[in-house]
Structure 1
Amino acid sequence: MRVEIRGGRILWPDGTIEEGSLAIEGGRIAGPTRATGLCAHRVIDARGLLVLPGIVDLHGDAFERQIMPRPGVEVSLAVALQETDLQVVGNGITTAFHAITWSWEPGLRGREMAYRLRDAITTMKPRLAADTHIHLRHETFNLDAVDEIIDWLAEGSVRLLAFNDHTPEIHARINTPVRLQKYAERAHLSVEDFTALLRRVWERRAEVPDANRRLARAAARARIASASHDDETAQMRQQFHALGCGISEFPKTVDAAATARDLGDPIVLGAPNVMRGGSHNGSIGATPMIEQGMCQILASDYYYPSLLHAAFRLAREGVLPFHKAWALISANPAHAAGMTDRGSIRPGARADFVLVDDEQPALPRVMATVVAGRPVFQANRLLAAGF
């Protein structure tokens, strides 16, 4: 089907924004067109709107709130994923990575839920509007799962692998049962049973480095990008870089981030941090890191609308030119994930777009989202215009 986007202000790869029209054929960008009389099965009237590359979100876990809207209350995974998909495309995200944590803990982040989510996403994928993938967050002390995860990588179930290492932080609280309460509740265990499990897991800590090496090699064989999560030191980033783990996700210190920058490893920080003007938990501020060249990618983390608003805020406050701010949520994450077919508006690329009303720069609004040439979200104005 031929689609034409007419009259929008298009963001081109060189950073210029010019009014024009785009032809889409077979889900790909056929190229710019000046003519308005070309035969198109569908015309998208983008007059007055920005036409931007679709947002690529490498790390979003807000779907967990759809699964469990209240503690202990779980809804159907199909319903949760469908609702999440509406939120995703409604906020201009055309490629979504659902960050699934597979830990040694049972419950929401345990083995059973990991398998259920993988199977649900695989089953639902044809129904989902966004191009949806799994970002597997492997807890490094989850040693019993290593062989299974290697199988997942080989069969293509995972599109991004992250190494999480929260166990030392949890173990530091082992002699203070009240501080383990929230972890025990999340795992659906008593504090006593959770403490016993934690002790057994901690006893195997010497096995973790070899397991990390095996998983990193498996990801490389499968040509899957990998990331380390919460790098605390320069040494930690260097170690993961040596494993071929080329993305630094949410580094916790400036030293770790600076090392990643010097190694040429893209750094992922949270868009909510930029949107809100700082971290919600006292972590390093994303905006100063961007100013120092220590952040190449923003991710939605826990709030899908943050990507759009973060990019506009960075441009509005003069932190980055608009095209570079938008690259943090489009071209840069696409490149880091090895997705060379998207992230910018160019002939031959996937026709993934978000149309934005920027009349109020402090409150940009997604008016339409197009995934692989197919309109999947449209606001009332465009519906009324015959979109």
Structure 2
Amino acid sequence: MSAELIEGARVILDERIETASVRIESGRITGIDGARDGATVIPARGRILAPAFVDIHGDAFERQLMPRPAVMAPVETALLETDRQLASNGIATAYHALTLSWEPGLRSVDTGWQVVRALERLRPRLTAENRLQLRWETFCPEAEPLIAQALAGPDRPALAFNDHTTSMLLHPDVPVQDRPFDQVPDYPVTPFDAPRFVKKIAEQARRAQISPEGYVALLTRVWDRRAEVPGHIARMAALARAQGAPMLSHDDSQAETRAYYRSLGATVAEFPMHDRVFLAARDAGDPIVLGAPNAMRGGSHLGSPGAAQMIARGLCDILASDYFYPAMLGAMVRLHADRVAPLPALWKLVSLNPARAMGLTDRGRIAPGQRADLILLDWPEAQAPAPLRTWVSGRPGYSALPPASR
């Protein structure tokens, strides 16, 4: 691979932005402000050059898998399209939040196996580094063989502990942000004939492609095995620790919940739902993840704490694409315009910090020796930016630029 010199861009470095030229060769950044020395020159004056995004939780790929309710697309087609979207949005490393649930359909273990196997087959053809966040519904022991195989694979996944079962069954008088610790013996369960529950079940059943009555019967059987769940969690956490896989817990609403998962090795707090959890996570030194759409929109669509407010308070370390890949760049635009923090500090939320949380020390910043995961932006003053080119380990991933010159 011949050397390239991205010349004259405004470069987002660790603590500052400065006009510089960045040389890349053999997949690495090899110098800043060096001579051309025979490199292919990428003219970048007036552009922004930044570390490419590291997305540790994105489930927008589900829209490619199921473009309409109950309509499934071929898995390889869906993943190839997802890969194109990642590259065009400046995402060089993506952890697909693959939900492994007891539900049939889109989030079933069967669909999970299809995605895992398709990614293995497609790996040589993909542009971005497509990894997995095994977003495991803890009431689903049927997923354990898949988790074990994925953890032993070459692209070390992350394991996220997810409990939508207790959330789904929560009594309507209890706000979801105040949901008790999942394992309390007197957990407040909704009456199955409550109007809100009936409506929710109808929506869930449609996605799972079964009748509402069938869904309730399935949910009842799942809830009946509640006493077995802590043992399943302990076993999967031990397996992840043995493989050195990063672990996260999702939607924690109580400090007790965060402490429980931290004790098992899940040191990343993903989408905390209450101020007390943010504070408990910060006191323990746990990285805190929020959604980039939250930051881009100016608030959570679920009524959880706002990302901008938490960033300003030092209670958010990472922004993930969640359900919308363009939101990572969109969040940078909104937070920069609102002067929440200087742009180099904001950019760490979507590059360096998520890379470190996942144990990826070779990316996330522009410095000699780092992987050449870069995004070149056209960002006129007071206007929306547009990605012009993405590099993934020095390889061209996406380009809207004219051909380079020597």
TM-score range, shorter-chain basis?
Answer: over 0.9
- Structure 1 residue 20, shift from structure 2 partner: 1.6
Matches within 5 A, 1:217-228: 217-228=238-249
Please say if residues 42 and 404 of structure 2, whose CA atoms lie closer than 8 Å, have aligned partners that are also in contact. no
Residue in structure 2 matching 1:171, options 165, 169, 172: 169
Distance 2:149 2:92 in 1: 27
Matches within 5 A, 1:183-332: 183-332=204-353
Deviations 1:2-46 (A, max 9, x none): 222111112222x1222121221210111113323x112x32221
Deviations 1:181-216 (A, max 9, x none): 111122211122211111111111111112111111
Which residue is 2:38 aligned to?
39
SS of 2:244's partner is coil
- Structure 1 residue 333, shift from structure 2 partner: 0.2
Please say if residues 154 and 218 of structure 1, whose CA atoms lie closer than 8 Å, have aligned partners that are also in contact. no
Please say if residues 311 and 328 of structure 1, whose CA atoms lie closer than 8 Å, have aligned partners that are also in contact. no
- Structure 1 residue 222, shift from structure 2 partner: 0.7
Judging changes above 3 Å, is the alpha-carbon distance between structure 1 residues 361 and 331 closer, same or farther for their aligned structure 2 residues?
farther
Which residue is 2:377 aligned to?
356
Q: CA RMSD in A?
A: 1.6
Which residue is 1:368 aligned to?
389
Distance 1:386 1:275 in 2: 36
Distance 2:22 2:258 in 1: 42
Please say if residues 47 and 377 of structure 2, whose CA atoms lie closer than 8 Å, have aligned partners that are also in contact. yes
* TM-score where L is the length of structure 2: 0.90
- Structure 1 residue 122, shift from structure 2 partner: 1.5
SS of 2:81's partner is helix
In the alignment, structure 1 residue 335 sits paired with structure 2 residue 356: yes
Which residue is 1:10 aligned to?
11
Distance 1:377 1:148 in 2: 32
Code of the aligned partner of 1:35? A
Distance 1:302 1:318 in 2: 25
Distance 1:298 1:127 in 2: 27
Code of the aligned partner of 1:310? A
Deviations 1:284-315 (A, max 9, x none): 21111111111100000011111011123212
Which residue is 2:135 aligned to?
137
SS of 1:7's partner is strand
- Structure 1 residue 261, shift from structure 2 partner: 0.9
How many residue pairs were aligned?
382
Which residue is 2:402 aligned to?
383
User: Structure 1 residues 80-89 or 322-331, which shifts more?
Assistant: 80-89
How many percent of aligned residue pairs carry the same amino acid?
Answer: 47
Distance 1:77 1:332 in 2: 31
Deviations 1:234-265 (A, max 9, x none): 11111111111010000111111111111100
Please say if residues 61 and 99 of structure 1, whose CA atoms lie closer than 8 Å, have aligned partners that are also in contact. yes
- Structure 1 residue 386, shift from structure 2 partner: 5.7
5+ long unaligned stretches in structure 1: none
Which residue is 2:118 aligned to?
120
Matches within 5 A, 1:102-117: 102-117=100-115
